[in-house]
Structures are given as C-alpha cells and as structure tokens.
Structure 1
Amino acid sequence: MTMKFSLLPWKPELVFTGTSVMGINPLTRKFSSHVDFWDSIKQNDYFSLEGLVDFIKQLRIYKTPDLESPKYQVLKRTADYEIRKYESFLVVETKVDKLSGSVGFNNVAGYIFGKNASSEKFKMTTPVFTKALDEEPSRVFIQIVLPQGNDLDGFPAPSEGGVTLHKVGGGIAAAVKFSGETTEAIVAEKEAMLRSALLKDRLKPKQGCMFARYNDPGRTRSFLRRNEVLIWLEEFTLD
C-alpha cells in the first residue's frame, strides 16, 4: 500500500507492504478479526512501538521534483530497502569516471536542451542516474531519462560524440533512499550496505549499481535532497 500523508505540507509518501490475516466467525461467516503483518518490522502487536518508529521515519522531508520519472511499483518494503518493479524506460547517456561526479552531465543535458540532430528540446525529467556496470571506473555512465511516449526511433540522434540513446529494459531492483551529501565514499557505503542486506535476506543482487539524484544540487539544500542507490536483482518472488 502506498499513500500520501497530506497532513504535512511536504506530503510524504508512506509505503507499507506485508500480509493481512482475516479471521472468520464460522457461525456468522463474517470477519471477526484483522491483523496486519508489516514487512518492515518484527513486532506486529496491536500497538507496536517499532511500528510507530517505522511510521515516523517515513515522514522525513524529501523534496522530490514534480517531473516525469520512470514508473515503478513497490513490491516489498523492509526496514532497510524497497523492492521495486520498474517498467522499461529510455535514457540518453555518456561515459564518466565515477558514480558521484557531475562530469558528463552537461553532455547529456545538452541533448535534452536541443543539441541533437533536429535541435528538438525536451522537458527535463528526474532522476539523473549514474550507472556502474561493475567496480571498474571505465564502465560508469551518467544518464538522463527521456520523456515517455516514443521508442528509440522516435528521438533524434545526438549531435555530440560519445552521447548515445539506450533502452533500460526494466525489471526488479532494490533501492535505498537517503539525503545529504553524496561523495564517492558515501555512495560506495550505501551500495555495500544494500548489497549486504540483500545477501542476508538470500536475494541475488547483480553486479554494479545505479545512483539516482532527484534534485538540482545548486537549488536544493543537502538535507532535503532525495538520493537513492539501486541494485538490480537476478530474480524475486513474493513469499
């Protein structure tokens, strides 16, 4: 279940996944009890302090821009990460040398703002992804998501060398959200923590990761920024 908490001005998104157990009275054949078991907590009592803390944690301020973003469905939310099912999406990308840097951003942003074969301009989207295929810095790419509605053939060719269009096939990814500064060390720490949690839960993370930045760092204070590290999974099934 995903919902907006409209009582707060920033309207945080609350996500709860788990299992609902309904009891039925055999005489009346009506529901007589209802217990929810959240995936994100262990103590699922009628009043759970752990559940209250989990709820309050989700009220944290993240300033997510009102821009088009890749579509996904949250399949499971644990205390440490979310499991998301992404639809396919298109990106414009170029090679860079590290996950947290801004080198290469102007090249891919230039495509959006008209540096392409037809000088066509497109609306900005979010987030800006940086994708690492493995641990080698020569295999890192910065990406801007292209607006939905066309396939690759529907977009003009880039006019700058080293800039290409690419389709991300979608699939199942684990994601951890955080705010604050995003140095290379911090991103590496988040990726290591996420990978460790996935392995502990007997999931199968793929090599590499994606770092997502939703905000303009020049216009958004660090504690308000929405950042994410994502790792694609080999497979995932709901128990």
Structure 2
Amino acid sequence: ISVYRVQADNNNNSPQGVQIVGQTDYWDSINLQEGGDYAPVDKGLAIQDFLNQLKPGGFQATPAAPEIPYQLLRRGNGYEIRRYPSTCVVTMPYGRRDEGFGSLGAFTQGMNPLGPAIMEVRDQQAGDKVMTWPLTFAAPGESSARFVTEASQKSKDFAQWSECEVVSRPEQVIAVREFADASMEPVVRRADRELRQALIRDGIRVNSSSSSSTDSVLFAQYDAIFSMGKRRGEAWIVLDEDMHCW
C-alpha cells in the first residue's frame, strides 16, 4: 500500500483542496505486522525480498496443464491472496490421486483441461475426497465461464462417467501457501496449518466453513502426477471477499 501525507492547498492549485507532500510505500511481504498494521523495516530486508523474487527456480517438474490466470491481490509473508475468475469444472470422487488423474484425463480427452488439479479432502477416515479439473474460465469482461455442454452430456450418457459432475463456479478469492514436497497428507496439512496461522497473524478473517483443517483441507497440484523435478503444490483457503477490502 501507499500512505500519503497531505496538507491544505491554500493556493487553490488542486481541485480537491489538498496537496500531497509525502508518500511512504509498504510491501505486504515485509512491512505488514501482526494484527494487520504496517510499519517501516530495515532497507536490507526490502532488498533481500526483491532479490528472492529473482532467484532461478532450478529444475521444475513438468506442468500437467496450462494454468488458469488469476489476479494477485496480496503477496504476504508466506502466502498469496488471489482472485480467480469464474470457471466451468469437472469434479469426481477419488481414492488415490494417480487414479483420479487417470480417470479425469480419460474423461477430458479432447477437451483441453486446465490446471491446477484441485483436491478437497473432506473426511480422511471416511475416504471422502473430491478432485476437480478446470475446463474453461471467464475472460476479462465476462461474468461467467463458458459451460462445457459436451462434458456434461458425456457424464449423463455413459455409465462409466456417472460420478463425473460438470458445474459452473463463481469468481473466488483464495489464500494460497506453496509447498515443494510431494502432496502427502502430512505435507498438505502442515501447509494448511501454516497458511491459517499467517492469515490470523495478518488480521485476515477466514470463512467459518473453512475455520478448521481437522476434517477438511483443500490443495492444488500443478505438476504431472509422476513428473521429476521440483514440485509445485499449494494449500488453498477460500476467503469471503465481503470480509476484506482488496
């Protein structure tokens, strides 16, 4: 954010009647303090934060699909907040992620699905897990994504795809924490827990439906299931946009 110092414009040079006499810029990643206030920090921290953004990533795992575009609303310390456009997605329950990738890959053949793959573990003990693949997204200026009718019809016409559901989803604001390890349960739940702690630290409220990671966790995977190299996974928490002014 930028904080401006103003004073009354006694010379009537400004139609607003004020004159800007100073400006202080703050970065969410280093200046945001516990509780949501901003404070100055040593310039060395700012330089290091900037250099960290320029570091090469090394050998990266192969992306499974083109990524949905998003608007970055905040780059905080240990997390990002993004606005994703409306999407049309296909979802299905799964037991193992490799099987889920295989099934959705077969279902979406010829449909050019997008990334990331999004997994929601609602009840680990009961095996209640759902995988989601985006199919289309709303372009700038569009209120909703194109509904993929052929995918919806395919799930109705063939018994083998009866568990696949094609639905439209509205625009969402999502808090994200990245992790580079394989998406095993301890890794995902640790990232989810650390993300929640960072949001609380910075005064960001979480939906009541997303207030606990004990039973439910949401995470995204960008790389192909058996790819080599540095992986890219993310813990996700959906935020209520009405709770915050971005």
Bin for the TM-score computed over the shorter chain: 0.7 to 0.9
For 1:151-210, what per-residue CA distance to the aligned partner results, in whole angstroms no more than 9, with x for missing partners?
Answer: 143534233232221223332211112223222110111011112222342512433332
After TM superposition, the structure 1 = structure 2 runs for residues 1-239 of structure 1, keeping only pairs within 5 Å, are 19-23=1-5, 32-42=21-31, 44=40, 48-60=43-55, 61=57, 63=60, 65=63, 67-97=65-95, 101-113=97-109, 121-133=110-122, 137-148=126-137, 150-153=146-149, 155=151, 156-158=153-155, 159=158, 160-161=160-161, 162-200=163-201, 201-205=203-207, 206-207=209-210, 208-221=216-229, 223=230, 225-235=231-241, 236-238=243-245
Distance 1:135 1:84, change over 3 A: farther
Looking at structure 1, the residues matched to 128 and 232 of structure 2 have their Cα atoms a distance apart, in angstroms, of: 25
Q: Which structure has the greater CA radius of gyration? A: 2
Instruction: Kindly indicate whether the alpha-carbon contact (under 8 Å) linking 1:92 and 1:146 is maintained by their aligned counterparts in 2.
Output: yes
Could you say if the C-alpha distance between residues 217 and 49 of structure 1 is closer, same or farther in structure 2, counting changes exceeding 3 Å?
Answer: farther
- TM-aligned CA deviation for residue 123 of structure 1: 1.6
Q: Distance in 1 between matches of 2:172 and 2:183?
A: 26
Between the aligned partners of 1:164 and 1:66, the Cα distance in structure 2 is 21
After superposition, the C-alpha distances for 1:31-69 in whole angstroms (9 at most, x for unaligned) are 554321111113635x62222232233335285849543
* Higher share in helix: 2
Cα displacement (A) at 1:137: 4.6
**TM-score, normalised by the number of residues in structure 1:** 0.72
Structure 1 stretches lacking a partner, 5+ long: 1-18, 114-120
Unaligned runs of 5+ in 2: 32-38, 138-144, 211-215
Aligned residues: 209
Q: Is the 8 A contact 1:71 1:86 kept in 2?
A: yes
C-alpha distance in 1 between matches for 2:233 and 2:65:
15
Does structure 2 retain, via aligned residues, the 8 Å contact 1:122–1:147?
Answer: no
Q: Percent identity?
A: 22
Q: CA-atom RMSD, angstroms?
A: 3.0
> Which structure carries more relative contact order (alpha carbon 8 Å, separation 6+)?
2
CA contact (8 A) 1:77 1:83 kept: yes
Matched letter for residue 126 of structure 1? G
